[in-house]
Chain A
Amino acid sequence: MSSNPRDESLEALVGQKYRHGFVTDIEADTVPPGLNEDVIRLISRKKGEPYFSFDWRLKSYRHWLTMREPHWAHLRITPIDYQAISYYSAPKARDDAPKSLDEVDPKLLETYDKLGIPLHERAKLAGVAVDAVFDSVSVATTFKERLAKAGVIFCSFSEAVQKHPALVEQYLGSVVPYTDNYFATLNSAVFTDGSFVFVPKGVRCPMELSTYFRINAAKTGQFERTLIVAEEGAYVSYLEGCTAPMRDENQLHAAVVELVALENAQIKYSTVQNWYPGDESGKGGIYNFVTKRGECRGASSRISWTQVETGSAITWKYPSCILTGDNSVGEFYSVAVANNYQQADTGTKMIHIGRNTRSTIVSKGISAGHGQNSYRGLVKVLPNAINARNFTQCDSLLMGDQCGAHTFPYMEVRTPTASVEHEATTSKIGDDQLFYCLSRGISEEDAVNMIVNGFCKVVFKELPMEFAVEAQNLLAVSLEGSVG
Chain B
Amino acid sequence: MSMLKIDNLHVRAGDKQVLNGLNLEVAAGEVHAIMGPNGSGKSTLVQVLAGREGYEVTAGSVSYNGRDLLALPPEERAREGVFLAFQYPVEIPGVNNVYLLKAGLNAVRTHRGLPELDAFEFLALVREKMKLMHMDESFLNRGVNEGFSGGEKKRNEILQMAVLEPTLSLLDETDSGLDIDALRVVANGVNGLRRADRAIVMVTHYQRLLDYIEPDRVHVLSGGRILKSGDKALALELEKRGYDWVRQEAAVA
Chain A interface (Cβ < 8 Å from any Cβ of B): 1-2, 4-6, 431-433, 435-444, 446, 450-451, 453-458
Contact B78 A453 (CB under 8 A): no
Binds A, one of B52-60, B215-223, B224-232: B52-60
Chain A residues within an 8 Å CB radius of B73: 4-6, 438
**B70 within 8 A of partner (CB):** yes
C-alpha gap A259/B160 in the complex (Å): 49
Interface SS of A by simple majority: helix
**B92 within 8 A of partner (CB):** yes
C-alpha gap A443/B79 in the complex (Å): 10
Contact A439 B94 (CB under 8 A): no
Contact B75 A442 (CB under 8 A): yes
**B111 within 8 A of partner (CB):** yes
**B93 within 8 A of partner (CB):** yes
Q: How near does chain B come to A301, taking the closest CB pair, in angstroms?
A: 30
Partner of A454, one of B79, B107, B143, B160: B143
Chain B residues within an 8 Å CB radius of A431: 53
Contact B104 A436 (CB under 8 A): no
Do A441 and B164 contact each other (CB < 8 Å), given the known contacts A1-B55, A4-B73? yes
Do A441 and B95 contact each other (CB < 8 Å), given the known contacts A2-B56, A435-B53? no
Chain B residues within an 8 Å CB radius of A432: 90
**B86 within 8 A of partner (CB):** yes
Partner of A450, one of B50, B53, B95, B108: B95
Contact B74 A439 (CB under 8 A): yes
Instruction: Name the interface residues of B58-85: CB closer than 8 Å to any CB of A.
Output: 70-71, 73-75, 77-79, 83-84
Chain A residues within an 8 Å CB radius of B160: 440
Do A440 and B101 contact each other (CB < 8 Å), given the known contacts A1-B53, A1-B56, A2-B56? yes
Contact A441 B108 (CB under 8 A): yes
C-alpha gap A436/B89 in the complex (Å): 8
Partner of B90, one of A433, A444, A456: A433
Do A4 and B53 contact each other (CB < 8 Å), given the known contacts A433-B90, A441-B104, A451-B95? yes
Instruction: Name the interface residues of B92-146: CB closer than 8 Å to any CB of A.
Output: 92-95, 99-101, 103-105, 107-108, 111, 143-144
Partner of A442, one of B71, B93, B94, B107: B107
Q: Which of B48, B52, B95 has the most CB of A within 10 A?
A: B95
Do A437 and B100 contact each other (CB < 8 Å), given the known contacts A1-B53, A443-B107? yes
How many B residues are at the interface, by size bracket? 35 or more
**B41 within 8 A of partner (CB):** no
Contact B75 A454 (CB under 8 A): no
C-alpha gap A87/B62 in the complex (Å): 67
Do A441 and B94 contact each other (CB < 8 Å), given the known contacts A1-B57, A450-B100? no
Closest Cβ neighbor of A429 among chain B residues: B92
Contact A446 B94 (CB under 8 A): no
Do A1 and B94 contact each other (CB < 8 Å), given the known contacts A440-B100, A446-B103? no
Contact A435 B103 (CB under 8 A): no
**B51 within 8 A of partner (CB):** yes
Q: How near does chain A come to B152, taking the closest CB pair, in angstroms?
A: 16
Top 5 nearest A-B pairs by Cβ distance?
A454-B94, A440-B104, A454-B95, A441-B78, A457-B94
Query: What are 7 A-B pairs at a CB distance below 8 A?
Result: A1-B56, A435-B52, A436-B89, A438-B51, A438-B75, A439-B51, A439-B75
Closest Cβ neighbor of B160 among chain A residues: A440
C-alpha gap A437/B108 in the complex (Å): 12
Partner of B111, one of A441, A444, A450, A455: A441
Q: How near does chain B come to A251, taking the closest CB pair, in angstroms?
A: 34
Q: How near does chain B come to A437, taking the closest CB pair, in angstroms?
A: 7
Contact mask B212-253 → A, CB, 8 Å, 1/0?
Answer: 000000000000000000000000000000000000000000
Contact B92 A451 (CB under 8 A): yes
Chain B residues within an 8 Å CB radius of A444: 75
Chain B residues within an 8 Å CB radius of A435: 50-53, 74
